Each structure stands twice: as structure tokens, then as C-alpha cells.
Amino acid sequence: MDSYKLTPLEQQSLQNAVAQLKQDGGPVPRDFGPNFDQMAAKVAQLKKEHDAVVLAHYYVPAATQAMADYVGDSFYLARLAKTLDASTIVLCGVSFMAESVKLLNPSRRVLMPAPHADCPMAHMVRKADVDKVRDEYDDLAIVAYVNTTAEIKSWADVCVTSSNAIKVVRSLPQHNILFLPDMNLGRYVAQQLPEKNVILNRGFCPTHHRIIPAEVEALEMEHPEAEVLAHPECTDQVLGEADFIGSTKQIIEHIAASDQKEFIVLTVMGVSYEIERQTKGQGKKIYYPATPPICPNMAMVSPESLVSCLEKLSGEIDLPVNPDRANAPLERMLEIAGR
């Protein structure tokens, strides 16, 4: 299996998050602690003062999601970014998400509470590999998962997220598709679209790669009635165990709409906050693998970091070089996915 060595910052963040998980007794704490109300009031006041709006991804800590105005998956956040009037947008998530917001709505000030929160997979593409494939095929579309840097997006014809990848790739006129960078999402798309020749890159999400078949099988033995839901960033073997494969939002909505009571969820545990919110009183039970699936980068986006970001107006995202080139594939994704 491909491996990725966590940076010291990621190691520390993961350790802290696992300790917090133990202390809370689960991914959603019974209460957010004595300072939560005070911090939430501060966020509300600072938002008003700075004409700011707060967006969060489902993977950030529950208390941070609870302070946000909008919470969603990557596609929802990208689409929403274009429509916001506030002069400051605070993005509680990782850098590629904040960068996408800035590209899609460049006149706004975009802030990141945890500027070091980066997605390792977003860098896992080598220009030489892209050029090699480009030289090999005439009839080629380059598709970049939104989990990429602006520079990598600027090499692509169109972006996708996990919620629209199949629809977008299917709509492309080209037969050959170079899919960057996630080999797992790329393979899943290829399996759904046998009419396309999908060329895979070697990128992967280290957090979803920590979800291993042995731990999934142990859960299935323990909870034989449970439905298994997986994010397409999981490995092929893990996806083979799944009854349902989808983006974070699709997983949450599937659970909320299901008559089942037990679910094995194979993605980052942050989704539990929204699952609990949407299924309150239904007695649904969610199980995760023994090695807690926590994204160390998303875990850096604490409620404290959100308060401090709004106080200092820190973590501002600059427009990348070549913004039009990087934005074009994002706009094209929004157009195709919205059809």
C-alpha cells in the first residue's frame, strides 16, 4: 500500500483529536464545554463587526461546525462560495477549500482559521506525469479532483468532487480521462463508466487509507445488521465491503432517509455531528473502525482558532498565480454539475 508519513504537526493534531475523542466518549461530545457559549457569542459579534460569514466542512470538529453559518461537503461549499455577499468569508476546512472559495469569489476577503490545515493528497501530482499522458493521447481530458492545489487545477480541463465526479466525467466528449490525484475515486469513477478509458494517478487520502479491510470485517461481524457506507476515497477492497458509496453529504442524507437502525460509516468521524442533527430521536447507531478515522488537518480547525481568526482577521488567502486558469475548471464543474 502507498504510504504517507504524517508531519509532526499532523501527528500532534491526530494525537490531540484521539485523546479528545476518548474524553468525549464519541465523535459528538454531550456538551461543548464551559466556554462554548462565550466563544459562540464572540463569533456572532465579530461576524457582525466584520461583515463575515462562516463556512465549515463536515470533517471539522463538531463544536466548530456548531458555530458555522453553513456546513456542507466540498461541492456544496464551492457552489455556495459564488453566491455569498458578505465581504469576508471564513472557511473552516483545509487549504484547497479556501483557495477554491477565493478563486470563485475573488473580490471577497477569504480567511482560514487554521492556515496550516492542508490536504496532503492535494499535492500528490507530478507535472511530468501529466505531460507524459498529454503527449500520449490526442483525445484526452484532464480531470482534477477539487482536492488539488490551484496550480494543479490550472493544468486541468474540469474539476470534480466526490458527489459529482461520475456525472461530470460521463458528460465529457473525450474518451481518455486522466484523473488527478486520487487513485481510489478515479478507480471508482472508471468502474461506473466502462465506456471511458480512465488513466489513474497515484494520489490517495492518508486518512481514508488508514481504514483497513480487517477493521471493517470485524465491525461487520459485530454488527451483522448494519448497512455499510463508504466514501470513494477508501481503497478498492474497503469499497468492496460497502452497500452505499458517496460523498460526505450523500452518506449523511442516506442515513437520514434510511429505515435501518445501524450503520458502519467509513469516512471521517466529523460527519457524526450532522448525522445526529438530522436523525435526532430516531435511535440510529453509527459505528466506526477501531482506528478512529480522523483527518488531522481538519482536526486543526478548532473553535478557538475560529475565534482568533475573526479577532485578528488572520489566515488570509491570496489569489494564486494564474487565477483565471485555475478557476476555469471549477466554473466548468459548477456548470456541468448544475445541468
Residue ranges that bind ligand SF4, judged by CB under 6 A: 59, 94, 119-121, 147, 205-208, 233, 268, 295, 297-298
Please state, in angstroms and rounded to a whole number, the distance separating the CA atoms of residues 247 and 253.
Answer: 10
The yes or no reply on residue 233 touching ligand 13P (CB under 6 A) is yes
Shorter beta-carbon distance to ligand 13P: residue 13 or 162: 162
Shorter beta-carbon distance to ligand 13P: residue 10 or 233: 233
Q: Look at the block and give the residue holding cell 456546513.
A: 71
Shorter beta-carbon distance to ligand 13P: residue 74 or 95: 74
Q: Which of 162, 184, 201, 327 binds ligand 13P (CB under 6 A)?
A: 162
Please state, in angstroms and rounded to a whole number, the distance separating the CA atoms of residues 54 and 61.
Answer: 14
Question: Strand ranges (DSSP E) for the chain?
Answer: 52-57, 70-72, 88-92, 109-111, 140-145, 158-160, 176-180, 197-200, 227-230, 244-245, 262-266, 285-287
Shorter beta-carbon distance to ligand 13P: residue 59 or 155: 59
The yes or no reply on residue 161 touching ligand 13P (CB under 6 A) is yes
Of 301, 300, 244, the closest CA to residue 267 belongs to: 244
Minimum distance, C-beta of residue 234 to ligand 13P, in the bound complex (Å)? 10
Q: Which of 205, 216, 245, 317 binds ligand 13P (CB under 6 A)?
A: 205
- Can you state the angle between helices 36-50 and 303-312, rounded to 10 degrees? 30
Q: Which does 297 bind (CB under 5 to 8 A by kind): ligand 13P, ligand SF4, none?
A: ligand SF4
Q: Which of 10, 73, 215, 274 binds ligand 13P (CB under 6 A)?
A: 73
- 40-48, 84-92, 149-157, 161-169 -> range binding ligand 13P (CB under 6 A): 161-169
Q: Which of 13, 88, 95, 147 binds ligand 13P (CB under 6 A)?
A: 147
186: enclosing H helix or E strand: helix 183-192
Shorter beta-carbon distance to ligand SF4: residue 39 or 317: 317
The yes or no reply on residue 74 touching ligand 13P (CB under 6 A) is yes
Q: What angle do CA 106, 144, 149 make, to 5 degrees?
A: 50
Are 277 and 302 in contact by the 8 Å Cβ rule? The answer is no
Q: Look at the block and give the residue holding cell 468569508.
A: 89
Query: Residues in the site for ligand 13P, rule: CB under 6 A?
Result: 73-75, 147, 161-163, 205, 231, 233, 247-248
